[in-house]
Amino acid sequence: MNKRTRNAVLIVIIPIFSLLLIFYFFFVKKGYKSEIVISADIDSIEAAEPEKRLYGIPVDSFYVEYGRISKNQNLSEILDGYNLPDGAFDQILKKSEDIFDLRKIRYGNKYTVFLSIDTLYEVRYFVYEHTPVDYIIIDLTDSITIEARKKEFNIVTRAATGTINSSLWNAIKDKNLKPELAMELSEIFAWTIDFFELQVGDSFKVIYDELYIDTISAGLGEIHTAYFRHAQKDFYAIPFMQDSVESYYDLDGNSLRRVFLKAPLRYSRISSKYSPSRLHPILKIRRPHYGIDYSAPVGTPVQTIGDGKVIKIAYDNEAGRMIKIRHNSVYTTAYLHLSRVNRGIKTGVYVKQGDIIGYVGSSGLSTGPHLDFRFYKNNRPVDPLKVEAPPVEPVKEQNKQAFDSVKTVTIKRLLSY
C-alpha cells in the first residue's frame, strides 16, 4: 500500500473510530452511570421531603381552595357552590349535631376545601377553623364523617422578669409579655400575695411555655416555676407531683393553695377598707364599715374565695343584691351590691373556690359600681385583709427527699435568668 492510499484509509477510519468512542462514553458508559445517580437522587429526595399535609390531608392529592366566612353567610351557601350530591348537606347537619353546631360558624373565620384533581372537582374534604386551635373537618371521601380536632402546638420555653411600678398588669404590659401571664401569676400566688397591695419595687421571675401554631402564638402553656419578691419577702412556686396531682409549694413544702383566696376579684382596686368608724359617702354619718370595697366596672365577675354553701341570696335597701356563703363552722363571707347573681347560684347550692357567683354592680345604697366584701369569723365581722388561712396538705414526709431535689433544680433555673 503506497503512502497516498494509506493516508486515504486513515482519513476514513479515524472519524469513524472517533464517533464510536463518543457513542461509547456518552450513550453507554455515561448513560449507565447517570441511571445509578438519578436513582440515588430520587431515594434521597423521598427521604428528605416527606409528603406535605394540611390538617392531616395530603395536599398534593387534591386541588385546594381557601376562603373566609362572609357576613351573614352560612355553610349551605358555601357548599352549594361545590355541587354536593343530593341529600349530602342534610347528612352533614345531622351528623354534626353532637359535634359542633354548624349554624354558629363565625364571620371572618377561615375555611379550606379539598377538591378532587379530576375534571369533576368534587368536594372530598371541607375544613372550618372555629378558633386558631380548634377546627371541624368534614370528610366526604366515602360515607360522610365529621370530626372536631385541634391543631398541633410547637412549644417554646421562655423566661420573663419584671418590676412593679404600679400594678402587675402594667409590669407585664411594659415588658410586651402576654397579658395572660399576669392572670397565671395571680392564680399561682392568689393565696399568699394580695395583688391589690403590691408595692413599688416588688419584682417577679417566671419560666413558662408559650404555644405556637406555625409562627402564630396561641397562648400560654405550662408555668414551670415562678418567684415573687413582695414587701421584702421572697415567695417561690415550686411545682411538685403528689398523689398524681401537680401543685405549687413554697420552700418549706407547704402548698401555695390556701383555704381562702386573698380577694374575690381580679385586677381591681380597694376604694374603702374595713373600719370601725367611717363617714358614709351617702348618709354622711360615721358608722362601722365591716367590709372591703373593691372598685370595679359593672359586670366584673365575682368569685367565691373558698368552698362552701350558699346560705342567703337577698336584696336589701342598703346592701343591694347580695350573696352569703358559709365555708365551715367558723367562717362565712358576704358579697354585696351585685348587679346580678350568676346562673345556677341559689340558696342551698354548694360552690367551689373560684366559682363565679355574681357580677359587680351598684345596687342598694351605693355611689358607684363596686363590691362590698365581708368576712365573718364565728358570726362576727373581721377585717378580710387580716385573716390568716391555714394551707392545705403540705408535701408528705415520704416525699420530702424527692421534693428537695425538685426544689434545688427549680431554684437553680430561676437564678440562671
- Which has the minimum average pLDDT: 35-44, 354-363, 394-403? 35-44
Q: Note whether residue 29 is domain-resident.
A: no
Q: Which CATH number characterizes residue 328's domain?
A: 2.70.70.10
Q: Note whether residue 130 is domain-resident.
A: yes
Q: Are residues 229 and 281 in the same domain?
A: no
Number of H helices, E strands in the chain: 7, 24
pLDDT above 60: residue 20: no
Q: Are residues 277 and 371 in the same domain?
A: yes
The residue count of the chain comes to: 417
Rounded to whole angstroms, how far apart are CA atoms 53 and 292?
57
What are 59-111's pLDDT values in tens digits? Answer: 888 889 998 988 888 888 888 878 787 788 888 888 888 888 888 888 889 99
What are 211-254's pLDDT values in tens digits? Answer: 887 677 778 889 999 999 998 999 999 999 998 888 999 999 99
What are 170-198's pLDDT values in tens digits? Answer: 999 999 998 889 988 988 988 788 787 78
The CB density around residue 231, as the number of other CB atoms within 10 Å, is 13
Cell numbers of 147, please? Answer: 370530626
Q: Are residues 339 and 380 in the same domain?
A: yes
Rounded to whole angstroms, how far apart are CA atoms 102 and 89?
11
- E-state strands within 151-215: 154-163, 203-213
Q: Are residues 172 and 213 in the same domain?
A: yes
Q: Are residues 303 and 353 in the same domain?
A: yes
Rounded to whole angstroms, how far apart are CA atoms 99 and 38?
49
Q: What pLDDT score does 281 carry?
A: 60
User: Which pTM value belongs to this model?
Assistant: 0.58
Q: Note whether residue 19 is domain-resident.
A: no
Q: Are residues 191 and 230 in the same domain?
A: yes
Q: Are residues 359 and 273 in the same domain?
A: yes
Q: What pLDDT score does 406 carry?
A: 96
Main-chain dihedrals φ then ψ at residue 101, nearest 5 degrees: -80, 100
Of 82, 116, 150, which one is at a domain's C-terminal end? Answer: 150
Residue 46: pLDDT band with limits 50, 70, 90:
very low
Domain count, the chain: 3
Q: Are residues 306 and 377 in the same domain?
A: yes
Q: Which of 245, 296, 252, 262 is nearest to 187 (CA)?
A: 262
Q: Note whether residue 241 is domain-resident.
A: yes
Sign, CA torsion 364/367/369/375? negative
The CB density around residue 405, as the number of other CB atoms within 10 Å, is 11
Q: What pLDDT score does 287 carry?
A: 58
Q: Are residues 182 and 89 in the same domain?
A: no
The CB density around residue 295, as the number of other CB atoms within 10 Å, is 16
Cα angle: 8, vertex 12, 17; to 5 degrees? 140
pLDDT above 80: residue 308: yes
End-to-end CA distance of the chain: 97
Of 103, 132, 150, which one is at a domain's C-terminal end? Answer: 150
Block residue for cell numbers 365575682: 302
Q: 92 lies in which domain range? A: 53-150
Q: What pLDDT score does 208 carry?
A: 95
Q: Note whether residue 404 is domain-resident.
A: no
Of 85, 116, 150, which one is at a domain's C-terminal end? Answer: 150
Q: Which CATH number characterizes residue 172's domain?
A: 3.10.450.350
Query: 271 versus 147: which is more confidently predicted?
Result: 147
Rounded to whole angstroms, how far apart are CA atoms 235 and 186?
12
Q: Note whether residue 3 is domain-resident.
A: no
Q: What pLDDT score does 97 carry?
A: 82
Q: Are residues 163 and 207 in the same domain?
A: yes
Q: Note whether residue 124 is domain-resident.
A: yes
Rounded to whole angstroms, how far apart are CA atoms 126 and 144?
11
Cell numbers of 382, please? Answer: 373581721
Q: Are residues 373 and 325 in the same domain?
A: yes
What are 316-353's pLDDT values in tens digits? Answer: 888 899 999 998 878 899 999 999 999 999 999 999 99
Cell numbers of 194, please? Answer: 394580695
Q: Are residues 358 and 302 in the same domain?
A: yes
Q: What is the DSSP string of 314-370?
A: EEETTTEEEEEEE-SSSEEEEEEEEEEEPTT--TT-EE-TT-EEEEEB--SS-SSSE
Q: Note whether residue 98 is domain-resident.
A: yes
What are 398-417's pLDDT values in tens digits? Answer: 999 999 999 999 999 998 87
